[in-house]
């Protein structure tokens, strides 16, 4: 009798759990953006969140929690209940880079559930026309003749731009001088004037300057050419193995129920296929991705290994 009673209780609890899970979502979802409002990550979150909410039948509320390079927002999600109502729009910085630059209050792999890879943004290597080079081979040759005399800008020590350029210099066997700025856009006028020699920046940011002839685009940071800058070759064509992209993805806290992960993954993949969303991605210079949670996790692991090695080999430490 006791065994039968226990079995009935277990079945009842399982039924209640399944019922509760089946009712998800019963209220609005919170999508945490670990960066300030108005930035590219925030704009992406709002574009995806609005359409995801329409598919789920519940609002997706964007909540900006900036600070500590994204660590504050990421940690908030890591410590949230794994009920599907608190998610993070993560980036390369929060999961592939920052944990290997300085101590963060979360484990980027153990404390989160991967849901879906939203997309990525390529960067383009640009130089001022006054530098007198027309391709990567010419830039590398110039840098080898003048060790340390060519400089490059970034948005700070340990930023993705800093790491990408350090990676490029290492593969090319050249020595460049790092000039960190408070914001990457503050360095663009200095680049155009020739005070800065090299910059890796978002395609959409530098595209107008390239078209106007104020800057020269020498290479794309991804393995494939970009339709946004036709004719500009991948850097990997000259330096095999080079790749640098900023990825964006959706995570939940560790322990997120598989049924909720499956539903979110399915709906986000559908959102990414919508013409309006794809058009918005094009405007931002982002390439939609999608795929399964396992594919997302695999991509992040490979990206993490790449940047951990760059950080170690170049002895880069956060300021």
- The domain 28-121+245-313 is placed in CATH, from the list 3.40.120.10, 1.10.40.50, 2.60.40.10, 3.40.190.150, at 3.40.190.150
User: What does each C-alpha distance from 97 to 142, 171, 192, 309, 318 come to in angstroms?
Assistant: 30, 19, 29, 10, 10
Rg of the chain in Å (alpha carbons): 22
For range 39-45, the mean pLDDT:
90
181 vs 1, more confident: 181
Condensed to tens digits (0 to 9), the pLDDT of residues 181-239 reads 988 888 999 999 999 999 999 888 888 999 999 999 999 998 888 888 888 999 999 99
Tell me: cis bond preceding 265? Omega within 30 of 0 counts: no
Is the pLDDT at 169 greater than 70? The verdict is yes
* pTM, full prediction: 0.84
**SS percent in the chain: helix, strand, coil, step 5:** 50, 20, 30
The pLDDT assigned to 17 comes to 43
The DSSP bridge pattern shows strands 86-91 and 60-64 to be: unpaired
User: What does each C-alpha distance from 165 to 41, 124, 198 come to in angstroms?
Assistant: 22, 11, 9
Is the pLDDT at 271 greater than 80? The verdict is yes
Instruction: Quote the percentage of the chain above a pLDDT of 90.
Output: 73
Q: Please report which confidence band the pLDDT of residue 315 belongs to, taking 50, 70 and 90 as the band edges.
A: confident
CA distance 54 to 257: 22
Q: Please report which confidence band the pLDDT of residue 22 belongs to, taking 50, 70 and 90 as the band edges.
A: low
Per the DSSP assignment, residues forming a β-bridge with 114 are 251
Q: With contact defined as beta carbons under 8 Å apart, do 35 and 64 qualify? A: yes
Mean pLDDT over the full length of the chain: 90
Domains 28-121+245-313 and 122-237 share a fold: yes
SS3 3: helix
Condensed to tens digits (0 to 9), the pLDDT of residues 110-151 reads 999 999 999 999 899 999 999 999 999 999 999 999 999 999
Domain residue limits, the chain: 28-121+245-313, 122-237
Is the pLDDT at 13 greater than 80? The verdict is no
The pLDDT assigned to 109 comes to 93
Tokens 């979360």, residue located: 106
For range 103-111, the mean pLDDT:
94
Is the pLDDT at 27 greater than 90? The verdict is yes
The pLDDT assigned to 205 comes to 84
Q: CA angle 118-158-88, nearest 5°?
A: 30
Q: Does domain 122-237 have CATH number 3.40.190.10?
A: yes
The pLDDT assigned to 229 comes to 85
Number of H helices, E strands in the chain: 12, 10
Per residue in 163-175, is it b (16+ CB within 10 Å) or e — as a string? Answer: bbbbbbbbbbebe
Using alpha carbons, select from 151, 208, 166, 160 the residue that is nearest to residue 184: 160
């Amino acid at each position: 009798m006791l065994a039968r009673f226990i079995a009935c209780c277990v079945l009842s609890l399982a039924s209640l759990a399944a019922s509760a899970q089946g009712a998800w979502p019963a209220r609005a979802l919170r999508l945490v953006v670990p960066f300030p409002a108005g930035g590219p990550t925030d704009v992406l979150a709002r574009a995806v969140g609005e359409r995801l909410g329409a598919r789920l039948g519940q609002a997706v509320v964007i909540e900006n929690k900036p600070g500590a390079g994204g660590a504050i927002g990421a940690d908030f999600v890591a410590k949230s209940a794994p009920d599907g109502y608190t998610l993070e729009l993560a980036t390369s910085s929060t999961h592939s880079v920052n944990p290997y630059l300085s101590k963060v209050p979360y484990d980027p792999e153990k404390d989160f559930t991967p849901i879906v890879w939203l997309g990525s943004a390529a960067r383009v290597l640009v130089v001022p026309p006054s530098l007198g080079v027309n391709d990567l081979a010419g830039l590398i040759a110039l840098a080898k003749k003048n060790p340390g005399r060519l400089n490059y800008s970034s948005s700070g020590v340990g930023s993705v731009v800093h790491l990408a350029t350090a990676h490029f210099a290492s593969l090319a066997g050249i020595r460049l001088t790092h000039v960190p700025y408070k914001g990457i856009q503050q360095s663009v006028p200095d680049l155009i004037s020739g005070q800065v020699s090299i910059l890796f920046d978002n395609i959409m940011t530098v595209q107008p300057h390239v078209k106007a002839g104020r800057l020269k685009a020498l290479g794309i940071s991804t393995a494939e050419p970009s339709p946004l800058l036709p004719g500009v070759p991948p850097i990997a064509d000259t330096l095999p193995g080079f790749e640098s992209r900023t990825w964006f993805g959706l995570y939940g806290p560790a322990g997120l129920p598989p049924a909720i992960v499956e539903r979110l993954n399915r709906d986000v993949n559908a959102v990414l296929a919508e013409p309006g969303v794809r058009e918005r991605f094009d405007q931002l210079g982002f390439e939609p991705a999608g795929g399964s949670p396992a594919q997302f996790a695999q991509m992040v692991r490979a990206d993490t290994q790449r940047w951990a090695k760059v950080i170690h080999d170049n002895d880069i430490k956060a300021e």
